[in-house]
């Protein structure tokens, strides 16, 4: 029996997902456990496996489309069964959600979705206008009444989608656009550039999709206005040669959209930085004893431990001693946790991600090493599940392997703190001997910096906490008991 595949909900706060890649095309067979598609979550891209054997009968959204969780995205079934009823149900569900009534989200070139789209009756004969189409019409100066009168919808259930609005606007001559109060079709960047330079969009020929005026068209017009035909010829030659220039003449190497995982990470960090008042405390740690203990531990076991594993254990013990740091601010409530879940930041293909060692208070240093090592491998392969990178109560970010001597980390909300760990370097240090005398010696020294949320954590508590971590690292035998 045909099965409707839906956008999975992969995390508590996930409301929609972006379809990154279809591993199967319409008409291709898929077996249970095979990767069917990949989804972009708030931290990484995750492959989703098929739940049964069958044939991909219909793909309802395209790669790059975003859709609310639990809404249909595909149909898998037997190669010979009639899926009309299932497809009608799926399309009806999509039609109820405003985020996916654009033809870009539901239309499939030469697919069964096209064949059934016109068979679904509209409600009361009223024109359906998708939110994206309505927004685009507003940008172009086309009213909803004009859409209903002049635009023929090609989207789901005959609805008007963004593509229809662009095609209509681009097909009109300048005088007609002025008559109905519409503006020339242009990208937002091009429209802003034209307004800044007092350029008439109606007088610029668009080279974008459906005749849309693009940034390059505005740049060409600006060059022509400034330097005449010679400048236009030069600009055209540069464009033909594949050279891109900024508005002030700088050659552009590459333009990368600020989107996806990078934008999500940036938005979360900006929210943390400008919502929680950050307070910083730095300590210098002598790692002489810890490095010797680590050498002895690794000599008697196959599973190797890293300095980060010892730091994680020190943080766990400090969090148990100062539970105010092992907390979250959730609305108007401060929640202190008995469970210690330590997140350890690691670089992954999609950006920085923080795998979480759960229930770390019940684990030894070597057990933390085993768990964290497995998590790091999955992170670098892009295979972490949401449960493996959420639920942390405290985070460690170690850039020591890159030779960084000191840095400041931003809190990973809703946690109360993050520990920035820098590289270990040989430095002169004052050593107090047993008889009270002092001497200068070369010791392996490391900077650690604690960032705390000053809304909840006072300076004295933060100072005591980071000093506790320093003391544990300098007498590391305490980490083994």
Start and end residues for every CATH 3.30.559.10 domain found in the chain:
261-480
Beta-strand ranges (E) seen in 105-246 are 244-245
| Fold classification of 261-480 (topology level) | Chloramphenicol Acetyltransferase (3.30.559)
Percent of the chain with pLDDT over 90: 43
End-to-end CA distance of the chain: 58
What count of other Cβ atoms lies within 10 Å of the Cβ of residue 60? 28
pLDDT-based confidence at residue 197 (cuts at 50, 70, 90)? confident
- 395-417 pLDDT tens trace: 999 999 899 999 999 999 899 99
Exposure class string for 400-411: b at 16+ Cβ within 10 A, else e = beeeeeeeebbb
How many helices, marked H, and strands, marked E, lie in the chain?
Answer: 14, 20
Angle 76-80-83 from CA coordinates, rounded to 5°: 50
Q: CA–CA separation, 179 vs 16, rounded Å?
A: 40
Is 278 part of the annotated catalytic residue set?
no
Query: Across residues 322-343, what is the average pLDDT?
Result: 94
> Which neighbouring-strand residues pair with 382?
none
DSSP states of 388-434: GSS--SEEEEE-GGGT---------TTBSEEEEEEEEEEEEEEEE-T
pLDDT-based confidence at residue 163 (cuts at 50, 70, 90)? confident
Which tokens in the block code for residue 293?
């203990």
The CATH superfamily label for domain 184-255 reads E3-binding domain (4.10.320.10)
pLDDT-based confidence at residue 150 (cuts at 50, 70, 90)? confident
Are the beta carbons of 326 and 320 closer than 8 angstroms?
A: yes
Task: Give start and end residues of each alpha helix (H) in 285-398.
Answer: 288-299, 307-321, 365-380
- 219-236 pLDDT tens trace: 887 776 665 554 444 455
Start and end residues for every CATH 4.10.320.10 domain found in the chain:
184-255
Supply the mean pLDDT for the chain: 82
The three-class DSSP label of residue 60 is coil
Residue 178 pLDDT: 54
Q: CA–CA separation, 147 vs 137, rounded Å?
A: 8
Are the beta carbons of 127 and 152 closer than 8 angstroms?
A: no
Which tokens in the block code for residue 261?
């995982």
Instruction: Compute the 3-state secondary structure of the chain and give helix, strand, coil in percent, each to the nearest 5.
Output: 40, 25, 35
Q: CA–CA separation, 58 vs 101, rounded Å?
A: 17
Task: Indicate which residue of 47, 97, 146, 454 is catalytic.
Answer: 454
Residue 102 has pLDDT above 60, yes or no: no
> Which neighbouring-strand residues pair with 237?
none
- 12-45 pLDDT tens trace: 567 788 899 999 999 999 999 899 999 987 667 7
Residue 348 pLDDT: 74
- When mean pLDDT is compared across 316-330, 342-356, 401-415, the lowest value belongs to 342-356
Q: Domain 3-117 class?
A: mainly beta
Residue 97 has pLDDT above 50, yes or no: no
Which tokens in the block code for residue 80?
């010979």
Select the more confidently predicted residue: 85 or 421.
421
Closest by CA position to 134, among listed 99, 110, 106, 108: 99
Q: CA–CA separation, 256 vs 366, rounded Å?
A: 42
Residue 309 has pLDDT above 80, yes or no: yes
Beta-strand ranges (E) seen in 191-319 are 244-245, 251-252, 278-286
Which tokens in the block code for residue 32?
């249970």
Is 426 part of the annotated catalytic residue set?
no
- What's phi and psi for 443, nearest 5 deg? -130, 150
Q: CA–CA separation, 171 vs 167, rounded Å?
A: 6
Select the more confidently predicted residue: 337 or 165.
337
Select the more confidently predicted residue: 311 or 201.
311
Percent of the chain with pLDDT over 70: 81
Closest by CA position to 81, among listed 61, 59, 57: 57
């Amino acid at each position: 029996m045909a099965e409707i595949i839906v956008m999975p909900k992969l995390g508590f706060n996930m409301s929609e997902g972006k379809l990154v890649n279809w591993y199967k095309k319409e008409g291709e067979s898929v077996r249970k456990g095979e990767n069917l598609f990949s989804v972009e979550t708030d931290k990484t891209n995750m492959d989703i496996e098929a739940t049964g054997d069958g044939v991909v009968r219909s793909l309802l959204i395209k790669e790059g489309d975003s859709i609310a969780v639990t809404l249909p995205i595909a149909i898998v079934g037997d190669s010979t069964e009639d899926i009309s009823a299932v497809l009608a149900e799926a399309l009806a569900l999509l039609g109820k959600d405003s985020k996916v009534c654009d033809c870009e989200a539901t239309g499939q070139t030469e697919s069964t979705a096209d064949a059934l789209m016109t068979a679904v009756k509209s409600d009361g004969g009223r024109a359906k206008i998708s939110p994206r189409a309505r927004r685009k019409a507003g940008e172009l100066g086309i009213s909803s009444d004009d859409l209903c009168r002049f635009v023929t919808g090609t989207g789901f259930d005959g609805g008007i989608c963004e593509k229809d609005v662009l095609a209509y606007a681009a097909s009109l001559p300048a005088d007609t656009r002025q008559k109905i109060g519409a503006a020339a079709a242009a990208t937002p960047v091009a429209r802003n550039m034209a307004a800044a330079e007092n350029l008439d969009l109606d007088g610029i020929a668009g080279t974008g999709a459906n005749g849309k005026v693009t940034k390059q068209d505005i740049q060409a017009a600006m060059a022509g206005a400034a330097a005449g035909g010679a400048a236009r010829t030069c600009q055209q030659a540069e464009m033909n040669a594949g050279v891109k220039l900024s508005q002030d003449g700088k050659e552009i190497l590459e333009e990368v959209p600020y989107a996806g995982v990078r934008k999500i990470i940036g938005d979360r960090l900006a929210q943390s930085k400008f919502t929680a008042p950050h307070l910083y405390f730095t300590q210098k740690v002598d790692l002489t004893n810890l490095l010797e203990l680590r050498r002895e531990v690794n000599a008697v076991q196959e599973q190797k431990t890293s300095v980060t594993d010892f730091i994680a254990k020190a943080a766990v013990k400090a969090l148990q001693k100062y539970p105010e740091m092992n907390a979250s601010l959730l609305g108007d409530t401060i929640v202190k946790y008995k469970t210690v879940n330590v997140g350890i930041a690691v670089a992954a293909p999609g950006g920085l991600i923080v795998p979480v060692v759960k229930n770390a208070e019940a684990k030894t240093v070597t057990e933390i090493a085993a768990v964290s090592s497995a998590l790091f491998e999955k992170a670098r392969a892009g295979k972490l599940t949401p449960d493996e990178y959420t639920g942390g109560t405290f985070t460690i970010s170690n850039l020591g392997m890159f030779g960084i001597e000191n840095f400041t980390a931003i809190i990973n909300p809703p946690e109360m703190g993050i520990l920035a760990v820098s590289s270990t370097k040989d430095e002169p240090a004052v050593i107090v001997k047993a008889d009270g005398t002092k001497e200068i010696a070369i010791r392996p020294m490391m900077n650690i910096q604690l960032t705390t949320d000053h809304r909840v954590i006072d300076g004295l508590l933060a100072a005591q906490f980071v000093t506790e971590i320093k003391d544990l690292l300098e007498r590391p035998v305490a980490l083994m008991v």
